[in-house]
Amino acid sequence: MNKTLRLILGDQLNSNHSWFSKTEDSVTYVMMEIRTETDYVQHHVQKVVGIFAAMRSFAAELKSNGHQLIYLQLNDENNFQSIEKNIQNLIETHHFTHFEYQLPDEFRVDETLKALCRSISITSTAVDSEHFYTTRNELGDFFQGKKMFLMENFYRAMRKKNGVLMEGDQPLTGQWNYDSDNRKKLPKDHKPTKPLVFDNNVSNILEEINKTNIKTIGTIDAKNFVWPINRAQSLELLDFFATNCLPLFGSYQDAMMPNEWSLYHSRISFSMNIKLISPKEVIDRVIEEWKRRPDEIEFHQLEGFVRQIIGWREYMRGIYWNKMPDYAALNFFNNQADLPSWYWSGKTKMNCLKDAINQSLNYGYAHHIQRLMITGNFALLAGVHPDAIDAWYLGIYLDAFEWVEITNTRGMSQFADGGIVGTKPYVSSASYIDKMSHYCGSCFYKKNIKTGDKACPFNSLYWNFYDKNESKLASNPRIGMMYNVWRKMKNEDKTALLEQADYYLNNINEL
């Protein structure tokens, strides 16, 4: 008798996958909570708990629908704590004749499963995860022979291919991109929409994790876990975003405000990245809301969100599969510094970093500008080794899986890829942070001061970065203007800035 074993990974919780369209007596599914996944980087406790909670909820759904399932919990005696060992054991114990898996999103897991299939004595098949708009190789094929992988070109092609906000082969409004309308600062007295949060009780999972020596970071309220852990909650959060947040999302998507952790962001990336909901149903839902309320939702609010999903998300995945594994070792600036110790505690006098890091520790979440222009910006100005900042991002954020994290971190944020993803390094002085946030007014450091005791560290580190990397950046047409400004400065002003930066870099853990 033929018996098939099908593996479901912790980020493959897609109830709409064709695998589940019918029940089969000859098919058994396996899900596993394993140390190789909890330990490859130090994760936020909410990330580990959230994934396990979602896995268990998904497993219960499969069983209730009549599917045969083997579920290995973290502390089960027969859990050998790795995909390979568990699969080998199950094949031998239950006499399976065929093994199947969905294509994983992470390179290391892909390599593990390929090696496993070569080592087992039964036949095996890999199938698509049926989640993304694109295949792994689609972006590489699109940019074949091109030196620049320009996201905007890919985004437009994706809109055309999928008929998203299109009229024939032209954009619906005659304009492709409304990014320039999406950079507003929140008014000081503006009170953002109160975020929808859940009160999932995950105490039992936390207790199981605490019985092990798994090292985690961050905090958790296990009796009131705020993140969605099943499809129904994920759809509820998507509906909340479309109804309550989309009307102002575009305008304020880059804005930052102390003690406001959610603003108008959707916060559905965790649900999407473990496949509880798909990018297509997300896009369809927000377009439906815009069509229903065109007078309340300006087009640029919608386009800014669509671009994040159908543009950036698919683009970053395409870059990942086109450039790995070499991408993970790129270090364009040859940065070597350690990550400042306060990235793990939030104990710094810089308001912007204190707020972004503490929010990350408390929620496992920060929005894209907090990641790019606060924590990422400072790490690049400080010359932190890409491996160190990479591991921090991959660990601390609930939605961070390597396929989407490393291209954003090593590429967009740290420019360690030398310009594959971004056309310039995303660095700034205090002026940009003040333009987009309300951090600076009450900060220990002063945004307008470049040198001296209260000088904002971003100011001198910014010019130090450009000075140190002039040979690599001076010819970049997008930042030539900054070098013109630098060259026109008085020598004594340059020296003072570089000395200030040197002092801060030598005392970085005290900032």
3-class SS string, 322-378: HHCCHHHHCCCCCCCECCCHHHCCCCCCCHHHHHHHHHHHHHCCCCHHHHHHHHHHH
Tokens standing for 54?
A: 């979602």
Report how far residue 479's alpha carbon sits from residue 355's, in angstroms, rounded to the nearest whole number.
Answer: 29
Residue 112 backbone class (left: φ over 0; alpha: ψ -120 to 50; beta: rest) = alpha
Indicate yes or no: pTM above 0.85.
yes
114, 156: one domain: no
169, 115: one domain: no
145, 294: one domain: yes
pLDDT reported for residue 146: 84
Task: Centre a 10 Å sphere on the Cβ of residue 132 and count the other Cβ atoms it contains.
Answer: 18
CATH number assigned to the domain comprising residue 346: 1.10.579.10
- The answer to whether residue 204 is domain-embedded is no
377, 466: one domain: yes
280, 250: one domain: yes
**What's the number of domains the chain is made of?**
3
pLDDT reported for residue 145: 87
Indicate the residue among 292, 323, 354 that finishes a domain: 323
DSSP 8-state class, residue 287: H
pLDDT reported for residue 480: 82
Helix (H, G, I), strand (E, B) or coil at 456: coil
- The answer to whether residue 309 is domain-embedded is yes
368, 439: one domain: yes
CATH number assigned to the domain comprising residue 22: 3.40.50.620
Shortest CA distance to 195 belongs to which of 155, 236, 223, 153?
236
Task: Tell me the torsion sign for CA atoms 348, 352, 353, 356.
Answer: positive
Which residue type does 102 have? Answer: Q
Question: Per residue in 249-279, pLDDT tens?
Answer: 988 999 999 989 999 999 999 999 999 999 9
- The answer to whether residue 205 is domain-embedded is no
- The answer to whether residue 133 is domain-embedded is no
- The answer to whether residue 261 is domain-embedded is yes
468, 492: one domain: yes
Report how far residue 41's alpha carbon sits from residue 269's, in angstroms, rounded to the nearest whole number.
Answer: 20
Which residue type does 353 have? Answer: L
- The answer to whether residue 332 is domain-embedded is no
Domain that holds residue 395: 341-510
CB contact at 8 A, 286 and 242: yes
- The answer to whether residue 335 is domain-embedded is no
Sole residue written with tokens 């990018």: 279
151, 298: one domain: yes
152, 263: one domain: yes
3-class SS string, 174-223: CCCCCHHHCCCCCCCCCCCCCCCCCCECCHHHHHHHHCCCCCCECCCCCC
37, 109: one domain: yes
- The answer to whether residue 174 is domain-embedded is yes
CATH number assigned to the domain comprising residue 166: 1.25.40.80
Question: Per residue in 296-327, pLDDT tens?
Answer: 999 999 999 999 999 999 999 999 999 999 99
Task: Centre a 10 Å sphere on the Cβ of residue 101 and count the other Cβ atoms it contains.
Answer: 24
286, 402: one domain: no
pLDDT reported for residue 404: 95
> Which residues of the chain carry a pLDDT beneath 70?
none
180, 252: one domain: yes
